[in-house]
Amino acid sequence: MREGARDFRSGQPFNQPSYFDEAVDIHHIFPRSWCEKAKISRSRYDTIINKTPVSYKTNRLIGGSAPSQYLARLPKQGGGSDVDIDGNLRSHLIGVPQLRADDFEAFLATRGEALLSLIEHAMGKSVYRGERSEEPEGETVIEEVEGIEATY
């Protein structure tokens, strides 16, 4: 929100007054019910990568629909043009082509990388991305859960 994220539908910037006035909350970008129907595991869809602030009204318009479906409804519900909506999506570091194509895996990769870049910028240094070839020496992988390795 500090980086200028705007509501998908209205384009309203999120700040402290609008956060409370618009009943802003953190919601899934790919809705939970859509992910469950698509047989995507909770550990994949219920992450910060798939969540972002949206207003109460926008969340109601999103519902449990595929992104391509709810994005098609937004202009009819006062969301401006597709160009306006795409700009609002980009303000959340969302890859518009991936979202409009309902491509969950590409969306996760693109947005995950964008969020890591934001973290790097805030920290002023690189973020370890977990490639095996870059593992520090002396660490041992002791557990792997759904493709995520914990090293100690």
- For the chain (152 residues), the mean pLDDT of every run of 10, in chain order, is 82 68 82 96 95 89 93 86 94 96 97 93 86 52 51 43
What is the structure's pLDDT at 87?
Answer: 94
Q: What is the DSSP string of 16-28?
A: HHHHHHTT-EEEE
**pLDDT in the model for residue 21:** 62
- What pLDDT sits at residue 84? 93
Q: CB count, 10 Å around CB of 135? A: 14
Look at residue 111 in the predicted model and tell me its pLDDT. Answer: 95
Tokens of 131: 């490639």
pLDDT of residue 148: 55
pLDDT at 80: 83
Closest to 96 (Cα-Cα) out of 59, 63, 71, 69: 71
pTM reported for the whole predicted model: 0.78
Task: Determine the pLDDT at residue 3.
Answer: 79
Q: What is the pLDDT, as a whole number, of residue 42? A: 95
d(CA 31, CA 21): 23
Cβ contact 130:118 at 8 Å: no
Helices (H) and strands (E) in the chain, counts: 8, 4
